[in-house]
Amino acid sequence: MIFNMHLEEGWAAKNDKHVDSEKFICLHAFSNLYHISPPIFIYLLKECYLCGTRKATHKFNVLQQHVFHALCNAPQPDPYTFIVHCLYILPLLGLQYAEGFSHLLMCSLKRLKNRKPALGVLSEAKHLAARLFVDILASSVNHEERILIKILKLFEIELKDIGEARFGSVTKKDDMGKARAFIERHIVDFIESQSYMTATVLVEHFSVNLGQSFLVKMMDNNNFKAAEKWAVFMGKPMLCLLVQKYVEMKMLKNAYDVIKRNNLKEEFPDVQRLYKESSLKKLAEKGLWDIAELRAMKDRQLLEFVVYLAMEAGYAEKVFELCDRYSLEGFDKLTVSDRPTFGACYLDPEKLMIENIIWVDDFNGLITATNYIEGCKVVGIDCEWKPNYEKGCKPNKVSIMQIASENRAYIFDLIKLHQDVPLELDSCFKNLLCSPNILKLGYNLQCDLYQLSQSYGDLECFRYYKMLLDVQKLFNESGGGLSGLAEKVLGAGLNKTRRNSNWEQRPLSQNQMEYAALDAAVLVHIFHCIYNQPQSTCNEVRSKVEWKSHIVSCMGNAKRKE
């Protein structure tokens, strides 16, 4: 019986008039394998794959379904032997097809094995598969290592099967020894070629003991996944060595994960503590204090460690907050550092000569601030909002917006102004943000402008802007953020300790106010350094392009209503 196939439509029925005649092939093989030899089957498989224009993934999925059904239709002498013969033939097609088709055939056979466990691997098929395995190891048959491992597992090849395939029999103890030596020799070859995962699978499958040197060599070559797999197989002593090596390499997270997965807490109590403290310190360095507090999980010792980190960072309000919330005593006798020790010297309002930091949360303050800013030629702008630590949740509403000149910073309470005087807020900010006479500087502006539009979509002032300059785009170096840029241009960076603090609390702390003001004012100072001193040390970080070419004269995410 002849069937027509067209992979563009899956498997098309016969007599389909719209199927190209060149893509018709004989599918008798997929109907009944009783009279079809492996070479013909492989030929048909390739023709099926070449047919149609769908992507390879789709074609493989379709073919896998039909190969599975074909294996149910009397392949001779049995499905397992039939597939082994096919695996011998596939390398003749070249690397382009051999690995993919081999994977396809063995996945189909594995599915058949799971569906019909009574069709177990017969001794003849296992012997032939072991022979193929040996031939692949000897490079007589060219298959990838992944196919080698699949053959080993699918056909349940044991050491005695290797001995029979390699030496003809394993009736004596010496024969088993030869078979084991053969496998161990090839494991060593895989190790020397740094194919650690393949070597690990063979070690585990054939119960080969290579000692501690194998684990150390894998770790020295950064093959940690294979090292962990082998250590689990070898048992507790090797797992303990693995943890010790991780600790020596200062890979505390890896060590902690191994301890947790393998119940080694009693053996390594200090490692857990070191890892947790290291994690908390990294969070503190990024200013993620709320997450650090959550990670401490009300463990008093860890909470005290967070307090010490906050003291070291000069974050007095966080120290008092944690001590009060968890009734931590004794810290009131210690002095909170005025300057964090996580980094070098930082900029502050005094160094930048910021004379006034003014909080704006009512109509009168809004008018006064607007009048002042309208008289400036260059201002820096920035925004802050409360971090949302829940994955997948949208960010909180923008809480404050800072607009600063070289020596004065206004901090607008957007939440309160939007609630109390929305029309006035819209009018004043429209005058500022749409003014062609004020150059407005920002850093990574797109992010702030997007958050503003999402937070206050009802206000026109956050839909349209004129005369914007993203300072970030003036420099080729992206690492270090605004703090890194300030350090390169002005000689000192910014203290980012409070970057992720709660910006919705009222009143803001003095440190939060200063942080917010500096983020906007420093932009103006960086700009003036570039503008006024083009031949100074700033030239090292100055962009090759003229800064004026980066000004966006007009930008909006919605049409402005006139």
Q: Is the pLDDT of residue 303 over 80?
A: yes
The mean-pLDDT minimum among 15-19, 308-312, 467-471 falls in 15-19
Helix locations, 155-297, DSSP H = 159-167, 173-192, 196-205, 212-220, 224-234, 236-248, 252-261, 269-285, 289-296
Distance in angstroms (rounded) separating the CA atoms of residues 259 and 240: 9
- In 3D space, the residue among 480, 482, 517 whose CA is nearest the CA of residue 381 turns out to be 517
For residue 288, what pLDDT is reported?
80
Q: How many CA atoms lie within 13 A of 279 on its CB side?
A: 19
**Number of C-beta neighbours around residue 304 at 10 A:** 17
Nearest partner of 467 among 350, 335, 375, 379, judged by Cα: 379
Within a 10 A sphere around the Cβ of 334, how many other Cβ atoms? 11
| Continuous H helices in 19-122 | 28-31, 38-50, 56-71, 79-89, 95-115
Q: Please determine, for residue 336, whether its predicted confidence score (pLDDT) is greater than 60.
A: no
Query: The tokens 């044991």 sit on which residue?
Result: 158
Rg for the chain, CA atoms, rounded: 35
Compute the Cα dihedral for 252, 257, 260, 263 and give only its sign.
negative
Cis preceding linkage at 422, omega within 30: no
pLDDT of residue 458: 94
Angle between helices 269-285 and 252-261 (to 10 degrees): 130
Range in 10-14, 347-351, 437-441 with the lowest mean pLDDT? 10-14
Q: Quick check: 517 and 349 in contact, CB under 8 A? A: yes
For the four alpha carbons of 35, 38, 39 and 43, in that order, the dihedral sign comes to positive
**Per-residue tokens: 1:** 């019986």
Q: How many CB atoms lie within 10 A of CB 253?
A: 11
Tell which wins on pLDDT, 147 or 120: 147
Poorest-pLDDT segment among 372-381, 497-506, 522-531: 497-506
Percentages of the chain per state (helix, strand, coil), in multiples of 5: 60, 5, 35
Distant-in-sequence contacts of 448-454, Cβ < 8 A, 24+ apart: 448/381, 448/382, 448/383, 448/398, 449/555, 449/557, 450/557, 451/383, 451/385, 451/395, 451/398, 452/383, 452/398, 452/401, 453/557, 453/558, 454/394, 454/395
pLDDT in tens, 215-266: 888 888 888 988 898 888 788 988 999 999 999 998 999 999 999 999 998 8
pLDDT digits (tens, 9 = 90+) for 337-385: 544 444 447 888 888 889 899 999 999 999 999 999 999 999 999 999 9
Helix (H, G, I), strand (E, B) or coil at 448: helix
Residue 398, helix vs strand vs coil: strand
552 pLDDT exceeds 80?
no
Distance CA 75, CA 105 (A): 13
State both tokens at 76: 């001779």
Spatial distance between the Cα atoms of 381 and 366, rounded to a whole number of angstroms = 16
Residue 509 has pLDDT above 90, yes or no: no
Place 404 in a pLDDT band, splitting at 50, 70 and 90. very high
Q: How far apart are CA 138 and CA 185, in angstroms?
A: 11
pLDDT computed for residue 57 by the predictor: 83
- Measure the CA–CA gap between 122 and 433, rounded to whole angstroms: 80
pLDDT at 14 over 60: no
The pLDDT tens digits of the residues spanning 249-261 come to: 989 999 999 999 9
Across residues 329-334, what is the average pLDDT? Answer: 67
Percent of the chain with pLDDT over 70: 85
Q: Average pLDDT of 381-390? A: 86
What average pLDDT does this structure show over 537-543? 48
Overall average pLDDT of the 392-402 stretch: 88
Paired tokens of 131: 């022979």
Instruction: Identify any residues that bridge with 410 across adjacent strands, giving them in sequence order.
Output: 358, 403
DSSP 81-99: HHHHHHHHHGGGG-HHHHH
Instruction: Quote the tokens at residue 375.
Output: 């008289």
Quick one: what percent of the chain has pLDDT higher than 90? 35
Q: What are phi and psi of 469, to 5 degrees?
A: -140, 115
pLDDT at 34 over 50: yes
Residue 2, pLDDT above cutoff 50: no
DSSP notation for 213-236: HHHHHHHHTT-HHHHHHHHHHH-H
Sole residue written with tokens 């601030």: 369
Whole-angstrom distance, CA of residue 449 vs CA of residue 468? 11
User: Which conformational region is residue 444 in: left (phi greater than 0), alpha (psi within -120 to 50 degrees), or beta?
Assistant: left
- Per DSSP, the three-state class of 451 is helix
- Measured CA to CA, the distance from residue 80 to residue 132 in angstroms comes to 13
| Torsion sign over Cα 74, 80, 83, 89 | negative
| 403 vs 517: CA distance, rounded Å | 8
Determine contact, residues 399/385, Cβ cutoff 8 Å. Answer: yes
pLDDT tens per residue across span 478-490: 567 888 888 888 8
